[in-house]
Structure formats: C-alpha cells, structure tokens
Amino acid sequence: MPAKRPIVGVIGSAHKVENRFTAQRVGERNLRAVTEVAGALPLMFAGTPEITDAEALLETVDGILLTGARANVHPTHFGEKEDPRYEPYDQNRDALALGLIRLCVTRGVPLLGICRGFQEMNVAFGGSLHPEIRELPGRMNHRMPRLANGEPHPDLAVIFADRHDITLTPGGVFAKLLGCATIRVNSLHGQGILEPGKRIVVEGVAEDGTIEAIRVADAPGFALGVQWHAEHEASRNPVNRKIFEAFGTALAAYQRAR
C-alpha cells in the first residue's frame, strides 16, 4: 500500500464572482507547488473564521500554506489607520490567519508564508507593514509590471520574471537551504515589512533594503516566509523548488511524528 501523502491546508482569499457572488479562491500555482514539489495533498480552507475552525483544521492537516492575495493586511493590526488608497482589505482572512500562525508555531506545525502570507507572519508577531513600500526613500517599485496605460502586462513571463537580487544572511536557514549567498526573485507586491515582529528573524534583504525572507525565532517546526511568489514555476525554478522541497520534508516529518 503506498504511503499516505501529507495534507497541506492552503488558505483561501475573499473574492466576488461577477462582482456579486462571494467566493473563496486559491491560485492553482500554489496547489500545484504543494502537489508536484512538496509531495503533499493540498486542501483549500476558507479564510473566514465563522467557516473555518482552526483547532479542527490543525487536527486534519500536516502543514499550512499562507498564499499571496490581492488584499492588504488591515492596518489596525499594527496600530495604523485605514486608508482607502490602500484597499482592498480582507479582514476575515486577517482574523483567521494571524491567530492560526501563532497556533502553528506553538505546535510545530510546518508553516510557509508567501507574499501576503509572509506579511501576515510578521504582523502575527507584532511587526508592522508599509502599505506601499515603493514610497519609502530609496526603494524600487516592487509591484507587478504594467503597460504605459496602467494595464497589467499581458505576458506572464514578464510579470513573473526575476527582477531583483536578495542577499541572504550568512549561515542562516535560507543560505543553508539554498546553498548560496545571493538569489534573484520575482516581485509582485505593494505592501511590505516596515518593522519586523519580536520573533521575526530577517534572513534575506533585497538590494534596496526591502525585507524578503524571514523565519520565526525558536519555532519548534518549519516556519519560513518569503515576499516573492515562490509558487511560480516551483517545479523548474531552482530557488522555489528547494523551498517547497524543504517544506515537503518538514511535512513528511510532522506526519510521521503524529
């Protein structure tokens, strides 16, 4: 009988179909990365506290993937006021994800945060975010490439192209995992880490100073976050593949321990 694959809970994000019907969605690249690289079974769960029982969820899964999403983390979670310029928000996902992150870390449940998920990890441990990182002095535009008329670029190869370098902390988890001192990654975010949370250890910084890779200090299990979209071409991109392979190894170990 073949070994049972680990199960990964993949958080959904609020979405309206035809601007009328409330739905939850997860990008297929995330699901494929979990299946094809981490070797696990993805199980989408709603990013809504009234629907999702976090305790029951963690009894079911062997790890959690916090994906990227269009909405920013609501600024009230780090002591700032709401600003309509930085909408949309997804306060239901905030309410579920922030507590779920702390539960995962406490229990040693493998946790991987990507883009918004990376930002959620920072906020969960008391860190702050800047709603438009490119507005800070000396920062580059980390947002998705667009045409001159403001429309998103039609070519996905351009959108997800590697756009800047990241310097990894020597001897850190990411440097050991990836086997190098510098990596090059894609960039599709507006919001970014301003001040790291109390247990957030910065392990990778872009050439303009933007924080791009983090871990949770003293976490008993896998607890890593990346600002770039590591789910993109996870089977072929060597950096992204190693991250999801390491996540898969942690999932299998947690499953065996259970």
Q: Which residues are catalytic?
A: 115, 229, 231
- Give the alpha-carbon dihedral of 184, 240, 109, 73, to 10 degrees: 60
What's phi and psi for 253, nearest 5 deg? -65, -40
Cα dist from 197 to 127, 128, 139, 182, whole Å: 4, 7, 21, 24
Residues in the chain: 258
Longest dimension (CA), the chain: 58
**Rounded CA separation 67/189 (Å):** 12
* Cβ(194)–Cβ(131) below 8 Å: no
* Cβ(243)–Cβ(113) below 8 Å: no
CB-based contacts of 4, cutoff 8 Å, min separation 6: 255
Q: How far is CA 235 from the centre of its chain?
A: 18
153-183 as b/e: b if 16+ CB within 10 A: eeeeeebbeebbebbbbeebbbbebbeeeeb
* Cβ(12)–Cβ(3) below 8 Å: no
